[in-house]
Structure 1
Amino acid sequence: MKMQSMIGKACAAIAIAAAMPPAAHGAGETVTPRFEQALPNVPGKSMIAVVVDYAPGGASPSHTHAKSAFIFGYVLSGEIESQVNDGPKRVYRAGESFYEAPGACHPVSRNASKTEPAKLLAVFVVDSDDKPLTMPVE
């Protein structure tokens, strides 16, 4: 595949994702798709990026992700309290990152502040046909 074609497809994917309306998932949480692209050098895998905006005191419900998903989280602004599986709860500040391995449970993901908003970039590397990306824990 020519580089211009790949760049064109990536730009189109970003434009489509940016035009998509944000989706509300939890109380005070909005998830906005930002990028989705099949990885041409890793057949069957895709990279998907979403931005999670948390209102002051906002949180995501306890959840898991697609079984194949490796997730890289990066705090864009504010402070995010997170827990993966039975690990310790930790507060991540703007500029800090964490990851979730495939099959992990994310029981805590919330804005650590009751007065300031927070924003998280989540990048998934996932089997292209593994949907949905996020499922609530019942």
Structure 2
Amino acid sequence: MTKTALLLAAAAVLFATSVAAQETIAPGAKVSVVFDQALPNVPGKSMRVVLVEYDPGAGSHSHRHPSSAFIYARVLEGAIRSKVNDEPEHTYQAGESWMEKPGDHHQVSHNASDTQPAKLLAVFVVDTSDRKIVIPDK
């Protein structure tokens, strides 16, 4: 089984066991927590998986994540424009991924299309006490 097939199979299982916590973070941008589990072998840490859905032309505001968060993000559908810290903006297509380290600043997260929706799956390893996943810039 390829890495992509394995990830998509895992995503399907996660969606099936969704805790169904959803939050609209900007017009046309929705975040749904699809998995949230304390790591039994790492006290105080949890794995939290979120599905981010952007309507055509939508995106989220510049933001950060909890300072404890290590994040792996993978585009499931469409294309996502992303800019983290001082790195150049990059457009990720379905099947492509990136990571964010604790303390990173996510300056751009936006659907690259004005006509098609986009989805990404983000896997967080985060302090269990950190409940808010997206912290908008002030």
TM-score by length of structure 2 reads 0.85
Q: Alignment length, in residue pairs?
A: 124
Where do 4+ consecutive residues of structure 1 move more than 6 Å? none
1:60-79 equivalences in 2 (<5 Å): 60-79=60-79
What are the superposed Cα offsets for residues 46-102 of structure 1, whole Å, 9 maximum, x if unpaired? Answer: 000010010000100100000000011000000000000111000000000001100
Q: CA deviation at 1:131?
A: 3.0
Paired letter, 1:89: E
Gaps of 5+ in 2: 1-12
1:76-115 equivalences in 2 (<5 Å): 76-115=76-115
Gaps of 5+ in 1: 1-10
Alignment of 1:31 onto 2:31: yes
Specify which structure has the higher proportion of strand. 2
Which residue of 17, 22, 30 corresponds with 1:15?
Answer: 17
Percent of matched pairs sharing the same residue: 52
Paired letter, 1:15: T
Q: CA deviation at 1:21?
A: 4.9
Paired letter, 1:120: L
Alignment of 1:58 onto 2:58: yes
| 1:8 matched residue in structure 2 | none
- Name the larger-Rg structure: 1
TM-score by length of structure 1 reads 0.85
CA RMSD, 1 decimal: 1.4
| 2:133 matched residue in structure 1 | 133
Q: 1: CA distance between counterparts of 2:49 and 2:101?
A: 16
